[in-house]
């Protein structure tokens, strides 16, 4: 597909005036939207439309291209592009007159966002947000771009419009052909392969993992570093079964590096989304609910597997952060994210420290210890100050300061309390929608933590379980989530059913109550009924544009594969009455091996780990 689209894009060589179309002028629909991210765009001069049948109908009646811009609340470059381009009246005029501009919150429309991301990765070789894609009125992706400075973006819009007006029929056919190729490629990845044993998949996953592994700094790749929690969780499962020394060393190193360096919030607990360097030093400062919920579970499991109590401490500290800063006290549940920028639009400033502030709030002894322990000396590479990291081990601190470990720990704790008190005076915007799937992940983490510390974590787990069943699961239907007022964010997708069911299963395993298992089975049954066909899984019930073929196996992304998770949950509740009619489907679906499991096992690590566990059982 890439040659077709790249040839198309290469034709954008002229920048001629486009046609101004007649008809009723659209208005910005996003003011006071339930999504905080979309509401941020409610005052843009761009006439943003909400995603849905009406927007598509407008494109078809006017024969205009749809311009779909996908982003999310805590995305730094999304805010930059809003400030530079979407608040630019000249650019807004072009978008309003020549396109149907549609803004989506990728966290509310993950299925559409995934399809657009596949397109942009196929055509440009990489993806990211803001994700901007032009679709024909029939819904076929035509061209796409990520962040561009305002003048470049303006030129790009004019070129797109020019070539569309020159040959709409030809471009529509080219885009339809390219979509067919992309669809076919997706289908080829799902070709079934017979007689592939789980042990062969495990070996392929191990080999591909170690080929990608950074054995010096931990993690994967040599540029930006993401925690990749689904893969880490799956690899821990395989390591517990196989005890490969090389894999164990790599996993221990990765988890240690993530917790000691810039990915982890040394003062308040919790993990940032990723680091912009390969050594885990400089984070991109947004904190996502899904990352932190998954990493709690990863570190708890690693603490048991490697007998590393410090990993358990990291997990508990992260969970305490979630309860303190992302728990929604008003209606219950957990909010989606904390922004990378503070209320003054300064990236990272909420978490950073200058020495003048530290001198003001700390005693001399606290200051001296904090500077050494957390690497706050020298010149910071960050604009607004130093980021605390684990810079000096306790033994070195003791040797340097001539103080005992207990005295050092007391001084550091005092410094931490004072710095957190100061930090709480700062303001950090939140995305306060409560997403079902992400709250399901938190319930899994709380249930796992309650198994180790019942008194501390069982009460918040009960509250979250009750919130999910009262606010998100409604008369046999899962919502995508609710806003801060408790209003529905629309129907749930496969991801929501799967991760909520898994969270409730973790709670059922903790309580042992039959009623808890029964609810899990009801949700799993609905997921099979709504999203599964003989051709595979659909990620959503509603498909407004062509493409997005069914898949036997859905790959891991920032969240574990929802198809793998639902298989795992279903196996645990097959004896429940509501699952009786689905037993054959579950077992048959689990026996299928598609080509991608063999060729790119790292992307399907959760499913391979499930097969491994089942083989062991």
Give tens-digit pLDDT for 553-591: 999 999 999 999 999 999 999 999 988 888 889 999 998
Between CA 466 and CA 472, with CA 470 as vertex, the angle to 5 degrees is: 105
- φ, ψ of residue 308 to 5 degrees: the values are -120, 95
Res. 192 pLDDT band, cuts 50 70 90: confident
Q: What is the mean pLDDT of residues 212-240?
A: 95
**Helices (H) then strands (E): counts for the chain:** 25, 15
Rounded to whole angstroms, how far apart are CA atoms 554 and 154? Answer: 37
- φ, ψ of residue 288 to 5 degrees: the values are -105, 140
At residue 615, does pLDDT exceed 90?
A: no
b/e per residue, 309-320, with b = 16+ CB within 10 A? eebbebbbbbbb
At residue 196, does pLDDT exceed 70?
A: yes
Between CA 427 and CA 434, with CA 432 as vertex, the angle to 5 degrees is: 150
Rounded to whole angstroms, how far apart are CA atoms 291 and 597? Answer: 24
397-415 pLDDT per residue, tens? 988 888 899 999 999 999 9
- Report pLDDT for 24: 58
Q: What is the mean pLDDT of residues 507-512?
A: 96
- φ, ψ of residue 376 to 5 degrees: the values are -100, 15
- Report pLDDT for 18: 34
- Give the rounded distance of the alpha carbon of 306 from its chain centre: 27
Res. 19 pLDDT band, cuts 50 70 90: very low
Residues 6+ apart with CB under 8 A from 363: 414
Instruction: Name the residue with higher pLDDT: 180 or 261.
Output: 261
Lowest mean pLDDT among 185-194, 336-345, 452-461, 505-514: 185-194
Q: Which domains are delineated in the chain?
A: 2-189 (3.40.30.10), 198-341+431-540+551-616 (1.50.10.10), 349-428 (no CATH)
Q: What is the mean pLDDT of residues 55-65?
A: 94
Instruction: Name the residue with higher pLDDT: 335 or 2.
Output: 335
* Helix, strand, coil in percent for the chain, rounding step 5: 55, 10, 35
Q: What is the largest CA-CA distance in the chain?
A: 80
Are the beta carbons of 323 and 461 closer than 8 angstroms?
no
Task: Work out the angle between the directed axes of helices 436-452 and 289-306 (0-180°, nearest 10).
Answer: 30
- Which of 518, 449, 435 is CA-nearest to residue 480? 435
- Report pLDDT for 7: 37
Q: How many Cβ atoms are within 10 Å of 4's Cβ, its own excluded?
A: 17
Please give the structure tokens belonging to residue 116: 């657009």
Q: What is the mean pLDDT of residues 99-113?
A: 95
The 3-class SS string of 570-585 reads: HHHCCCCHHHHHHHHH
At residue 546, does pLDDT exceed 90?
A: no
Res. 543 pLDDT band, cuts 50 70 90: confident
At residue 617, does pLDDT exceed 60?
A: no
At residue 22, does pLDDT exceed 70?
A: no
- Give the rounded distance of the alpha carbon of 586 from its chain centre: 27
DSSP string covering 149-209, please?
Answer: -HHHHHHHHHHHHHHHHH-HHHHHHHHHHHHHHHHHHHHHHT-B-SS--HHHHHHHHHHHH
**What SS3 state is found at 29?**
coil
Are the beta carbons of 297 and 427 closer than 8 angstroms?
no
At residue 13, does pLDDT exceed 80?
A: no
Mean pLDDT over all residues of the chain? 91
DSSP string covering 81-122, please?
Answer: HIIIIIT-HHHHHHHHHHEEEEEEETTT-HHHHHHHHHHHHH
- Report pLDDT for 21: 38
Residue 15 gets which letter from DSSP?
-
Res. 61 pLDDT band, cuts 50 70 90: very high
Are the beta carbons of 547 and 502 closer than 8 angstroms?
no
Residues 6+ apart with CB under 8 A from 284: 76, 272, 273, 274, 275, 276, 340
Lowest mean pLDDT among 71-80, 189-198, 464-473: 189-198
Res. 6 pLDDT band, cuts 50 70 90: very low
At residue 14, does pLDDT exceed 50?
A: no
273-299 pLDDT per residue, tens? 999 999 999 999 999 999 999 999 999
Kindly give the pairing relationship between strand 481-482 and strand 434-435: antiparallel
Cα end-to-end span (Å), the chain: 43
Q: In 468-561, where does DSSP find H-type helix? A: 494-511, 514-531
Rounded to whole angstroms, how far apart are CA atoms 401 and 398? Answer: 5
Q: Over pLDDT 70: what percentage of the chain?
A: 96
At residue 74, does pLDDT exceed 60?
A: yes
160-181 pLDDT per residue, tens? 999 999 999 999 998 888 888 8
Rounded to whole angstroms, how far apart are CA atoms 95 and 549? Answer: 30
At residue 20, does pLDDT exceed 50?
A: no
């Amino acid at each position: 597909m890439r040659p077709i689209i790249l040839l198309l894009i290469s034709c954008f060589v002229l920048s001629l005036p486009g046609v101004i179309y007649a008809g009723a002028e659209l208005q910005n629909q996003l003011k006071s939207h339930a999504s905080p991210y979309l509401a941020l765009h409610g005052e843009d001069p761009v006439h943003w439309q909400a995603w849905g049948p009406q927007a598509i109908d407008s494109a078809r009646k006017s024969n205009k291209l749809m311009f779909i811009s996908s982003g999310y609340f805590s995305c730094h470059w999304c805010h930059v592009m809003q400030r530079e381009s979407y608040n630019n009246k000249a650019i807004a005029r072009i978008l309003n007159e020549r396109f149907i501009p549609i803004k989506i919150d990728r966290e509310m429309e993950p299925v559409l966002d995934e399809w657009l991301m596949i397109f942009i990765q196929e055509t440009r070789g990489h993806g990211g947000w803001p994700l901007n894609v032009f679709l024909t009125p029939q819904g076929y992706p035509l061209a796409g771009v990520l962040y561009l400075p305002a003048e470049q973006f303006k030129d790009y819009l004019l070129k797109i419009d020019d070539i569309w007006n020159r040959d709409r029929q030809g471009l529509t056919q080219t885009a339809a052909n390219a979509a067919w190729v992309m669809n076919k490629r997706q289908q080829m990845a799902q070709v079934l392969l017979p007689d592939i044993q789980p042990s062969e998949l495990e070996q392929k996953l191990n080999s591909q993992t170690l080929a990608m592994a950074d054995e010096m700094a931990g993690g994967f790749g040599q540029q930006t570093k993401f925690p990749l929690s689904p893969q880490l969780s799956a690899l821990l499962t395989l390591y517990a079964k196989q005890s490969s020394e090389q894999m164990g060393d790599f996993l221990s190193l990765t988890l240690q590096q993530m917790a000691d360096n810039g990915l982890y919030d040394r003062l308040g607990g919790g993990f940032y989304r990723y680091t912009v360097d390969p050594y885990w030093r400089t984070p991109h400062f947004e904190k996502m609910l899904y990352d932190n919920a998954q990493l709690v579970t990863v570190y708890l499991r690693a603490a048991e597997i490697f007998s590393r109590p410090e990993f358990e401490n990291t997990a508990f500290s992260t969970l305490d952060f979630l309860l303190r800063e992302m728990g929604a006290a008003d209606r219950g549940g957990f909010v989606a994210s904390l922004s990378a920028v503070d209320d003054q639009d300064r990236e990272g400033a909420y978490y950073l420290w200058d020495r003048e502030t530290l001198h003001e709030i700390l005693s001399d002894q606290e200051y001296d210890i904090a500077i050494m322990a957390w690497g706050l000396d020298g010149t910071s590479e960050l604009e607004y100050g130093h980021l605390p990291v684990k810079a000096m081990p306790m033994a070195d601190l003791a040797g340097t300061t001539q103080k005992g470990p207990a005295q050092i720990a007391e001084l550091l704790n005092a410094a931490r309390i004072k710095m957190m008190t100061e930090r709480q005076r700062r303001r950090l915007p939140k995305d306060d929608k409560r997403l079902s799937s992400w709250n399901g992940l938190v319930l899994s983490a709380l249930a796992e933590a309650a198994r180790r510390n019942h008194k501390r974590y069982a009460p918040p787990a009960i509250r979250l379980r009750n919130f999910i069943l009262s606010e998100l699961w409604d008369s046999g239907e899962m919502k995508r989530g609710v806003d801060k007022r408790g209003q529905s964010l629309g129907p749930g997708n496969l991801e929501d059913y799967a991760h909520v069911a898994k969270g409730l299963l973790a709670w059922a395993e903790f309580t042992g109550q039959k009623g808890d298992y029964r609810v899990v089975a009801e949700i799993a049954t609905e997921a099979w009924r709504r999203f599964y066909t003989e051709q595979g899984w659909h990620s959503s019930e509603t498909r407004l544009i062509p493409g997005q073929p069914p898949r036997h196996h859905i790959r891991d992304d920032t969240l574990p594969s929802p198809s793998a998770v639902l298989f795992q949950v279903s196996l645990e509740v097959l004896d429940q009455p509501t699952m009786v009619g689905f037993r054959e489907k579950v077992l048959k679906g689990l026996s299928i091996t598609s080509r991608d499991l063999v060729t790119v096992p790292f992307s399907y690590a959760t499913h391979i780990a499930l097969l491994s566990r089942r083989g062991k059982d």
